Amino acid sequence: METALAKTPQKRQVIFLAILLLLWEAGSDAIRYSMPEETESGSFVANLAKDLGLSVGELATRGARIHYKGNKQVLQLDIETGNLLLYGKLDREVLCGATDPCILYFQLLLENPVQFFQADLQLTDINDHSPQFLEKEMLLKIPENVQPGTVFPLKIAQDLDIGINTVQNYTISPNSHFHVVTRNRGDGRKYPELMLDKALDREEQSELSLTLTALDGGTPPRSGTTAVHIEVVDINDNAPQFLQSLYEVPVPENSPLNSLVVVVSAQDLDAGTNGNIVYTLFQGNEVTQPFVIDEITGEIRLKKALDFEATRYYNVEIAGTDGGGLSGKCTVAIEVVDVNDNAPELTMSTLTSSTPENSPETVVAVFSVSDPDSGDNGRMVCSIQKDLPFLLKPTFKNFYTLVTERPLDRESQAEYNI
């Protein structure tokens, strides 16, 4: 992938052509700061000059400035005091989603002479979101002959916070038939199961209305609720059972719409309508869910485009429900496979379009390269043409400086295209 810098109408011009093929290496000796999300803009982060062993005067005389990965400004440097301040409120969930820890990388660039310092800011989570159920009501149809101790899966609540601030416990409104058990899922999230304590009698009570509450671990805890409506139905001896409790499927992010992801299958030993199984997406927002399931065949197909850079994994809960209301559940773990769909990007920090002849090593440009793809698709190599009196020097991970290799002679050559 080639990136060309267009000519500017000046007496002497330098045009860059960088060939970028993926690279992202972790920097060393980085200074790390920590700040809770949603801290007010202008808040003090640290005295960067003191931490780097620089005098305050050096920041101004050496042209100090902050450079970020990408173009979003999150910090500002007061070169008069050396203080590093928040440019604006930072929302951890917007910047990092479920990624933990949430780390924002930046560099301090001193232009004269050129020097880099690597640093990063870790945003810690605060409990600023309440658990939310995607549906206001759940409907359960439970046969009256189900034995005490039987459990029924309930849909989980979503919480954008992480760690202790996400959902930690579920409770159910007081009643004489059920209690809720909070269990741990493989990915660390908690999910509720409704357990029957006392046998049901349809003739005595045909319906129950309960309130399910999700609580996070904040102080004080935040909560969200949903209604659980239970219909007591006549006998249906066997619940559907899936052939696999977990289906694991890799799907390339460039898969076309309506392409087949996987086929799930369940069996029910009952006959007639009690043995007919209907498949549904048990957990997930239908509006944002990129998958759809055929309720008869169990085929899961892609209905929206995937983006590895936005979401790398999906855990899709599938329910198989027979005509008598009994259901079984399985999980489809979908891994979005990265394809090389992002071109490397070059961000200029400093560009000098002219330089005096006969000067010693001179910095012509400072720039960074980045690629949001992963693995080999995100690894980059930066180079310039050979047989030119310039050198390309790597600095911190994705930063490069372009310098003159030797004094230039205008009479020999007045301009270069690089």
Delimit the domains of the chain by residue range: 31-124, 132-233, 241-337, 345-412
Q: Report the SS3 class of residue 127.
A: coil
Which range is least confidently modeled, 155-159, 175-179, 293-297, 346-350?
346-350
- At residue 192, the pLDDT reads 95
pLDDT of amino acid 7: 39
Cβ pair 311, 336 in contact under 8 A: yes
Yes or no: say if 95 and 123 are a contact pair by the CB < 8 Å rule: yes
Q: What residue type is 136 in one-letter code?
A: K
Q: Which residues of 369-384 are buried (b: 16+ CB within 10 A; e: fewer)?
A: bbbbbbeebbbbebee
Quick: pLDDT tens for 177-220: 999 999 988 777 899 999 999 999 887 888 999 999 999 998 99
Q: Report, at the CATH architecture level, how domain 132-233 is classified.
A: Sandwich (2.60)
Report which of 249, 281, 245, 246 is spatially closest to residue 262, judged by C-alpha positions: 249
CATH annotation of 345-412: 2.60.40.60
pLDDT digits (tens, 9 = 90+) for 387-418: 888 888 888 778 888 888 888 888 888 888 88
Q: What is the dotted CATH code of the domain comprising 241-337?
A: 2.60.40.60
For residue range 49-83, what is the model confidence (pLDDT) as tens digits?
A: 888 888 888 888 888 888 877 657 888 888 888 89
Tokens, residue 179: 């209690």
Residue 127 CA to residue 191 CA, distance in Å, equals 19
Mean pLDDT to the nearest integer, 289-304: 94
**Best-predicted range by mean pLDDT (136-140, 237-241, 377-381, 382-386):** 136-140
- Residues paired with residue 175 on neighbouring β-strands, in sequence order: none
What does the block give as tokens for 168?
């930690």
The total of other beta-carbon atoms located within 10 Å of residue 404's CB is 18
Torsions phi, psi for 124 (to 5 deg): -95, 150
Residue 19 has pLDDT above 80, yes or no: no
The pLDDT confidence band at residue 222, using thresholds 50, 70 and 90, is: very high
What pLDDT, on a 0 to 100 scale, did the predictor assign at position 6?
37
Q: Which of 323 and 12 is assigned the larger pLDDT?
A: 323
Residue 54, pLDDT score: 86
Torsion of CA 104, 105, 106, 107, to 10 degrees: 160
**Given strand 399-404, what is the order of strands in its sheet?**
345-351, 363-370, 399-404, 390-394
> Which residues have a Cβ under 8 Å from the Cβ of 140 and sit 6 or more positions away?
152, 194, 228, 229, 230, 231, 325
Residue 284 binned pLDDT confidence (cut-offs 50, 70, 90): low
pLDDT reported for residue 358: 82
- Output the average pLDDT for the chain: 84
Phi-psi group of 394: left, alpha or beta (phi > 0 → left; psi -120 to 50 → alpha; rest → beta): beta
- 31-124, CATH topology level: Immunoglobulin-like (2.60.40)
pLDDT at 31 over 90: no
Instruction: Note the pLDDT tens digit of each residue in 93-107.
Output: 888 888 888 888 888
- Tell me the residue type at 189: R
pLDDT digits (tens, 9 = 90+) for 231-282: 988 677 788 999 999 999 999 999 999 999 999 999 998 877 888 999 999 7
Cα 146 to Cα 158: distance, rounded to the nearest angstrom: 30
Q: Is the pLDDT of residue 22 over 50?
A: no
User: Strand, helix or coil at 375?
Assistant: helix
Residue 92: in which H helix or E strand, if any?
helix 92-96
Residue 125 CA to residue 159 CA, distance in Å, equals 12
In whole angstroms, what is the distance from residue 182 CA to residue 245 CA?
A: 19
Q: How many angstroms separate the CA atoms of 209 and 175, rounded?
A: 10
- Omega before 101 within 30 of 0, i.e. cis: yes
Per-residue pLDDT, 29: 65
Give the predicted TM-score (pTM) of the model: 0.61
What is the rounded average pLDDT of the residues 15-34? 46
Task: Judge if 31-124 and 132-233 fold alike in CATH terms.
Answer: yes
pLDDT at 285: 54
